[in-house]
Structure 1
Amino acid sequence: MLEIRDIHVYYGDMQALRGISMEVRQGEVVALVGANGAGKTTTLRTVSGLLRPKQGEVWFEGKPIHELPPHQIADLGISHVPEGRGLFPMMTVEENLLLGAHLPRVRAQRRQMLTQEIYPLFPRLKERAGQLAGTLSGGEQQMVAIARGLMSRPKLLILDEPSLGLAPVIVQEMFNIIRRVREEQGVTVMIVEQNVMQTLQLADRAYVVENGEVVLSGDSRTLLDDEHMKRAYLGM
């Protein structure tokens, strides 16, 4: 579904990605793990068109997308939920959700999507539909961000640090929601997380990124037993 081929990305003169290559197959949950500043978020931003690679290519469903603007990439079926949630605090939960259905191909179905797809997956958001988004708890705000990302009916959902700043019990709830998104809605997921243990338990495969390069990749179960992973990321 998604192929990242030897991409090199710069911020000015500073090179952030050094020949990153990875793939995401349809129906998978694929994780990117690594320390802060390793290049994980830069990889996601390049996939969604917010950054352009100086070298290399990004392909989605057999077509190159690395030179397309973000709105065209979104229209192809890639939805990016960035770190920080990006909600409109003085708008209601439902108003924030409806903004996610801005693409022409889904706009006419947005009310139906809310009642039949989003609220069954996020019943708490149905209860809070008329509440201002800025008054929600951190976990509820993250649910709104993910639900809004699903309102475009994506084929690939990109999540950047969805558990950041959340209490452990809410983190587990968030991971359960992501699992249901894949299982019940058939959405492929690419996730960046520092919560490595739970992420590897959720994901089918993972890539370990250090200093802008992939240093390790493979089946998540295999990585959980890898000595480098245990020492560097799992505290074992």
Structure 2
Amino acid sequence: MTDRVVLEGRGLVVGYGGRPIITGLDIALLENEVLCLIGHNGAGKSTLLKTLFGLLRPSAGEVRVDDAPVDDAEPRALVAKGLAMVPEGRSVFPSLTVGETLRMAMWATGLPRHEQRVRIEWVLDILPAITEFLHRRAGTLSGGQQQMVSIGRALLSRPRILLLDEPSIGLAPKLFQDLLQPIRQLQKTDGLSILLVEQNVREALKISDRVVVMKSGAMIWEGVPSDLEDNRKLMELY
């Protein structure tokens, strides 16, 4: 981890139908770190990730990548800058096979055909379990397998900044760790920067370098995982 900021939100104000969800929020993701964002339901965590990835437009403030404002905040433009996002709920197409899902993702990101086989092999090296169900329809997979496909799909663009929204939903703690440990290893070897939104706080802190707590659309605390070893401190923040 370095002190160089790769993704930043400055003074963000975001809402739906004129109702603010995020109010004047600042957040910075550093190069080669896992930043864990936690907070109660409705705090605005998913709204923040969607804003950082260009799925929502802030009514005030700005998103910056590599200390430069993002003029075109559409997801495709952000993918070109090295961002990828794993949305909450996995969002797989149940009627497609896993292989078809991955090929469609490469087409959507404009990856040249001659690079596609190598890119899939790279993802399968990181998440080798996908090989076992590559030809199965995504709708027949378990929750953990679907989440693995969703992460693999995001990795196909070889991002340097990865946004993960609630990847543990419906997963047992061990399966959650089995899923994220290869991503943590990739982060260490390739310098990947990860912003992880997670409700399973204890498991998420095991792979995080830094933690921020969000409440009612604002950041209320920042520290390191060891600061939250005392459950009383964690309960105070919630």
Q: Distance between the aligned counterparts of 1:108 and 1:26, measured in 2?
A: 30
Checking the alignment, whether the CA contact within 8 Å between 1:39 and 1:209 is kept in structure 2 is yes
2:151 pairs, out of 115, 131, 146, with: 146
Checking the alignment, whether the CA contact within 8 Å between 2:213 and 2:237 is kept in structure 1 is no
Shift of residue 151, structure 1, vs aligned partner = 0.2
Task: Evaluate the alpha carbon distance shift between residue 206 and residue 108 of structure 1 in structure 2; reply closer, same or farther with a 3 A threshold.
Answer: farther
1:35 equivalenced with 2:40 (yes/no): yes
Task: Evaluate the alpha carbon distance shift between residue 198 and residue 92 of structure 1 in structure 2; reply closer, same or farther with a 3 A threshold.
Answer: same
The CA deviation string for residues 208-227 of structure 1, in whole angstroms up to 9 with x for no partner, is 00000101012222243484
Task: Evaluate the alpha carbon distance shift between residue 8 and residue 194 of structure 1 in structure 2; reply closer, same or farther with a 3 A threshold.
Answer: same
Aligned-residue sequence identity (percent) comes to 39
1:69 equivalenced with 2:57 (yes/no): no
Task: Evaluate the alpha carbon distance shift between residue 232 and residue 68 of structure 1 in structure 2; reply closer, same or farther with a 3 A threshold.
Answer: closer
SS of the residue corresponding to residue 59 of structure 1 reads: strand
SS of the residue corresponding to residue 88 of structure 1 reads: coil
Tell me the residue number matched to 1:120. Answer: 125
Tell me the residue number matched to 1:228. Answer: 233
Checking the alignment, whether the CA contact within 8 Å between 1:53 and 1:66 is kept in structure 2 is no
- How many residues were matched structurally? 232
Q: Distance between the aligned counterparts of 1:121 and 1:225, measured in 2?
A: 34
Checking the alignment, whether the CA contact within 8 Å between 1:52 and 1:67 is kept in structure 2 is no
Aligned pairs for 1:14-93 within 5 A: 14-65=19-70, 67-93=72-98
- After superposing the two structures, state which structure 1 stretch, 218-227 or 90-99, moved more: 218-227
Q: Distance between the aligned counterparts of 1:191 and 1:104, measured in 2?
A: 26
Shift of residue 95, structure 1, vs aligned partner = 1.3
1:166 pairs, out of 155, 164, 171, with: 171
Tell me the residue number matched to 1:103. Answer: 109
SS of the residue corresponding to residue 73 of structure 1 reads: helix
Task: Evaluate the alpha carbon distance shift between residue 34 and residue 143 of structure 1 in structure 2; reply closer, same or farther with a 3 A threshold.
Answer: same
Tell me the residue number matched to 2:3. Answer: none
Q: Which runs of 5+ in 2 are unaligned?
A: 1-5
With structure 1 as the length reference, what TM-score do the two structures score?
Answer: 0.92
- After superposing the two structures, state which structure 1 stretch, 103-112 or 49-58, moved more: 103-112
Shift of residue 178, structure 1, vs aligned partner = 2.7
Checking the alignment, whether the CA contact within 8 Å between 2:173 and 2:203 is kept in structure 1 is no
Q: Distance between the aligned counterparts of 1:4 and 1:220, measured in 2?
A: 22
Task: Evaluate the alpha carbon distance shift between residue 169 and residue 182 of structure 1 in structure 2; reply closer, same or farther with a 3 A threshold.
Answer: same
Shift of residue 57, structure 1, vs aligned partner = 1.1
With structure 2 as the length reference, what TM-score do the two structures score?
Answer: 0.91
Q: Distance between the aligned counterparts of 2:98 and 2:209, measured in 1?
A: 32
SS of the residue corresponding to residue 109 of structure 1 reads: helix
The list of structure 1 runs, each at least 4 consecutive aligned residues, that deviate by more than 6 angstroms after superposition, is none
Checking the alignment, whether the CA contact within 8 Å between 2:53 and 2:73 is kept in structure 1 is no
Checking the alignment, whether the CA contact within 8 Å between 1:200 and 1:224 is kept in structure 2 is no
1:12 equivalenced with 2:17 (yes/no): yes
1:134 pairs, out of 126, 136, 139, with: 139
**RMSD of aligned Cα (Å):** 1.8
- After superposing the two structures, state which structure 1 stretch, 141-150 or 124-133, moved more: 124-133
Shift of residue 98, structure 1, vs aligned partner = 2.1
Q: Distance between the aligned counterparts of 2:81 and 2:187, measured in 1?
A: 18
- After superposing the two structures, state which structure 1 stretch, 105-114 or 82-91, moved more: 105-114
Task: Evaluate the alpha carbon distance shift between residue 105 and residue 98 of structure 1 in structure 2; reply closer, same or farther with a 3 A threshold.
Answer: closer
